[in-house]
Structure 1
């Protein structure tokens, strides 16, 4: 492997071999119908598989109908939703990628507008479009922010049902053909809202100190791990910091990661923020290239755990340096992959791993290699002063 860039060295997690370290991050499309995927999702996700990524994640998929972020978010709360996911998973496998799914409950951030309609709580205009509001849930009766609906605090009975629904969704994900499952514990959604002292004011065993606030995340993870096959990896996405005074901290994340590792989590997917305001993680004023890499680096070192980093990683050399420096094991690409779905293939060329289109799908690689041998390319004339 000495001559292979770190970005293109395979990684084995349990019994799953991943062809490279490039992951397509879960990206909500808000385009499902009653929780069902359609051709949009097959094309959207399929292009990343043919584009050379090692792992392709389906977006946040609700384990309960009321756990969707928006009316347009997918789910796996009923068997009829399996078929659409199976199409996506099987296409990824046929094209060399590992299909992965993020299982989620949006908690007090459920029932939002599709972002192009405002990205806030549902209102009368949304109802007129057929997107009716529902009452969100959370650890405590605390809204996300002023003007947001008041959530119902989950009862113990609700928690039992929630855990069972995560398990049922994981079984359906397995039936669909996914090889990696990720539990969404970030961005202010339900599990994150239990973790953060800013949103969890409970006085029972699911609140209070760090151990109490971690309890639900650990119970969900244990239950999912029990039905997710031993030979398949399990990820957990975390907001490593709340980014607010007295909030969830990086030190807390290390404790959580250590506990999750003990119950069978293989990879910590390190993001940040989102506990209040919009569903978008992080403060735009503080974002810079690779701004979340220190979180994955710290968790990797202190919890002795495989980590994935995400956030404004756009250039192949940037990704290569992160891996070479031991700051993460996997690189998640999000919006940059929307700009260039073949980011992984272009990265292979940029880093000198592929100089003749050998890593491209043969349907296109053959044509491009042939063109490179026989064609000259247009070069615009240099402008000169008049």
Structure 2
């Protein structure tokens, strides 16, 4: 894996999952007893679905000096601005299909229903705020007799090529007695990644791929047989064939259902369905986390980390270690060592190549 790709993955993991040294504090049984009633605020500041773009972070090389650093920063800034523009253009082509659809209300309803199932607390009040960039948490809780306040900050966006949807959530839980300190008792990040809709380059199953790979090999073999080539030329052909097959294999997926989904263009109906599934998955991740008492030490002691293939681009993949958290309605659930949780369709790679626009 090349250095620039490593940098992109590292940057995205830092942005999306945090660093390992900042593992969030888990709720203890005592904390739950103290939070017998909760006031929940769903704070949504975006009026419509946004866009994500691939982002580059070039590490500073001391040998280049200050001028080199400025030049590198300028180049990265220009590249990121270009990617953000393209991502927004891709999202714009799909966004109008959601005109008139109130995702915020759907998300609030799903969250309210999910949180009502918590056995250790009662949700006495649920409020959605969409008309304020910031909220005064101490003032909000001061008007209610609840023991604590749970603040939800969701966002949702298309992927860089608008072939998937991400829903992100930051949840912060404050004890009423500590809320003036603005230090949450509990806080974490969650991400839902949808199934991919990419009719221009859809997934294919291994059975569908076999004859196509054979055709690629036959194409290069025919070129080699046209005349005699020296060893260097033969190595070139082999390298070119291997590269083409490797890129082609990125379209292979074991799930026939996901392969079929990838062939479908976005429509109003499947966009709504995807967002509603995402709301359910995000709510489930939050519930899973609020009920989880294991600490970072507990997870490390369990030694059940697994290597999970993640995609940083359409050309390159890598592995990261994640804790499997089971499955839910066709999605794999994972916890990063920082504590952050992810939901991704079974058999589909986690994608770490985007940043909110």
Choose between structure 1 and 2: higher helix proportion: 2
Choose between structure 1 and 2: higher strand proportion: 2
Normalising to structure 1: TM-score of the pair?
A: 0.21
Q: Which structure is richer in relative contact order (CA contacts within 8 A, separation 6 or more)?
A: 2
Bigger Rg, structure 1 or 2: 2
Normalising to structure 2: TM-score of the pair?
A: 0.22
